[in-house]
Amino acid sequence: MKPIEACRVFALCLCTLGAAVAHAHGGADHAGHAAPPARQEKTQVRFADVSLLDQHGMPVRLEQDLVGDKLVVMGFIYTSCTTVCPVVSSIMGKVQQQLGGRVGEEVQLVSLSVDPQRDDPQRLLDYSRTFQHGAGWSWLTGTPYAVTETLKGLGSWSPDLGNHPPLILVGDGRSGHWTRFYGFTDPALLVGEIDRLSARRVHAKHTAIAQEQLP
């Protein structure tokens, strides 16, 4: 199959999966929202010093408790969304499956609700069961202030839920290298970015050892 045809088939599969999940959940659509073409860009992020809640109702600070020095895949969703968000969550679910045991050890997955008014921990926990299979994936909400400050620092804040873009961040909490992936991104590309960041760590470690051994 040609690369262009493969991409079309993948996009069709994602849209079909998203429609099926959307039917199961119901709720508010991204009003008139069509996902933009998949693209990526290097970026910088800032972690707000605020407390959030995970899907079990436990308080967490994103940078200190989850990101740390791990490799991170982070999506932005809200549970009443019936179009874009289920597809984004499905993509992350496929990333979790492809990374296997690395999730929860080397890699941390995070989904942050952009609708804290409605998405309490229990609602996120119920929603997560459709997509999450295994440890290492935190679903976050919090007060409107805490969520807004967090989203602004991550460059993902929008005043209108219906126009919130499909976005997944992939980065290295240790080095501070981050990439934004817009649109419905092939999970293999996200896993490839994780592998690239992991390889950079190995290279940096070997370089440091070699320099220490120089006379």
Give binding residues for Cu cation as ranges.
81, 85
Give the separation between CA 14 and CA 95, rounded to whole angstroms.
13
C-alpha closest to that of 92 among 40, 125, 139: 139
Q: Determine contact, residues 91/160, Cβ cutoff 8 Å.
A: no
Q: Are the C-beta atoms of residues 74 and 155 closer than 8 Å to each other?
A: no
Residue pair 76/124 in contact by the 8 Å Cβ criterion: no
CA 121 from chain center: how many Å? 17
Two tokens, residue 3: 């690369």
Residue indicated by tokens 């990101």: 67
Q: What CA–CA distance (Å, rounded) separates 78 from 127?
A: 9
Q: How far apart are CA 192 and CA 80, in angstroms?
A: 30
Residue 81 CB neighbour total at 10 angstroms: 26
Amino acid identity of residue 144, one-letter, is P
Binding site: what residues are annotated?
Answer: 81, 85
Radius of gyration of the chain (CA): 17
Q: Cα 202 to chain center, whole Å? A: 24
